Amino acid sequence: MWQPLRFDAGKGRASIALHRENPMGIVRRLTLSLLFVATLASASAFAETGETIRIGGTGGGLGLMRKLAALYTARHKGLTYTIVPSLGSTGGVRALRDGALDIAVSARPARAEEKGTESRFLAATPLAFVVHPGVGVSNITTAELEHIYGGSLTTWPDGKRMRLILRPETESDTKALRGISSAMNTAVTAAHSRPGMPMALNDQENLSMLKKTRGSLGIAALATLAVEHAGLKVLSFNGIRPGPSSLGDGGYPISRTFFLVIRNPASDAVRGFITFVTSPEARAMLKRYHCYSEGAP
């Protein structure tokens, strides 16, 4: 029987599948490696400027960006970074266009009307169903979710009260839930119509509410759980364990995507960072945090 994943400080591990590459894939990796080396070699172009890369956007991607930016700036003398608290995807892109950010991390690519920007796919991670550590289940099914969100199932198997934590209607996570099935779409509408339902407005608040609410059930990006050391229990979904391999092969059906959005033109430091995140070293780091970075699944 599959045992639930737990993310506790210093103990998170990813289960990563190795993918066989064709010759063109090897050439692509070699090209990216050479680009990364070239970026390091040209670091002196901005190393002494004291430039700070300002990063913000969707809260679920900020922990990943902190890890990547720390590794990148440690190798470039005089270059630093700052992470702005959660603004959401649209708020992050708006701040980028207003000049308040240099990089926006977004759950979507920039829209056509968000002119003067360009987007780069960073990674995808499973959107996991999570519960309070005290909940005694390890798997959840589509049928159960339809009854839970619809309001006809309100207790766990041991009889204890179930507490559903919702995300706003505009969030990509809510849209992913609606896409599971037509009955789930109806159930999500019902859940958002019930008065007094707990609502987490951003990713960090979501993790906090899930952890402190006994009997809680909600959704969260697997990478965010790992980076934030959330201490929550991750459930399998219809018997499938969430992870980069099950996401990459199409077995796990729902995910959160992360894109990096920058202004065009952008500084040499920002361009260098965008090149860095496609390097083998950066991709290896993303895999450690349960991300699939070979292309949107």
The pLDDT tens digits of the residues spanning 105-146 come to: 999 999 999 999 999 999 999 999 999 999 999 999 999 999
5-9+126-248 against 23-122+258-288: fold identical: yes
Q: What is the pLDDT of residue 77?
A: 87
Please state the domain extents for the chain: 5-9+126-248, 23-122+258-288
What is the β-pairing status of strands 117-131 and 216-221?
Answer: antiparallel
Asked if 232 and 207 count as a contact pair (C-beta separation under 8 A), the reply is: yes
Question: Residues 6 or more apart from 51 whose CB is under 8 A from it?
Answer: 78, 79, 80, 267, 269
Nearest to 84 by CA among 74, 76, 93: 93
d(CA 277, CA 275): 6
Q: What angle (nearest 5°) sits at the alpha carbon of residue 149, between those of residues 92 and 232?
A: 60
Mean pLDDT of 3-21: 36
Nearest to 166 by CA among 225, 234, 241, 220: 220
* pLDDT band at 21; cut points 50, 70, 90: very low
Q: Which residues pair with 82 in a beta bridge?
A: 54
Nearest to 286 by CA among 102, 121, 45: 121
Q: Which residues pair with 116 in a beta bridge?
A: none
Query: Which one is predicted more confidently, 20 or 71?
Result: 71
Backbone angles phi, psi at 164, to 5 degrees: -85, 125
Mean pLDDT of 54-72: 95
Flag the least confident range among 10-24, 93-107, 134-148, 199-213. 10-24
pLDDT over threshold 60, residue 297 = no
Q: Which CATH class is domain 23-122+258-288?
A: alpha beta
Mean pLDDT of 88-101: 96
pLDDT over threshold 90, residue 6 = no
Q: What is the pLDDT of residue 294?
A: 78
Long-range contacts of 200-208 (CB under 8 A, 24+ apart): 200/165, 200/166, 200/167, 201/168, 202/59, 202/86, 202/88, 203/58, 203/59, 203/60, 203/86, 204/59, 204/86, 204/228, 206/165, 206/167, 207/232
Asked if 290 and 125 count as a contact pair (C-beta separation under 8 A), the reply is: yes
List pLDDT tens digits, range 210-258.
Answer: 999 999 999 999 999 999 988 999 999 999 999 999 999 999 999 999 9
Q: What is the pLDDT of residue 259?
A: 97
List pLDDT tens digits, range 247-295.
Answer: 999 999 999 999 999 999 999 999 999 999 999 999 999 999 999 987 6
Mean pLDDT of 169-180: 95
Mean pLDDT of 47-70: 88
Rounded to a whole number of angstroms, the CA Rg of the chain reads 20
* pLDDT band at 41; cut points 50, 70, 90: very low
Instruction: Specify the length of the chain in residues.
Output: 297
Q: How far from the centroid of its chain's Cα atoms is residue 91's Cα?
A: 17
Average per-residue pLDDT in the chain?
85
- CATH H-level superfamily of 5-9+126-248: Periplasmic binding protein-like II (3.40.190.10)
pLDDT over threshold 50, residue 42 = no
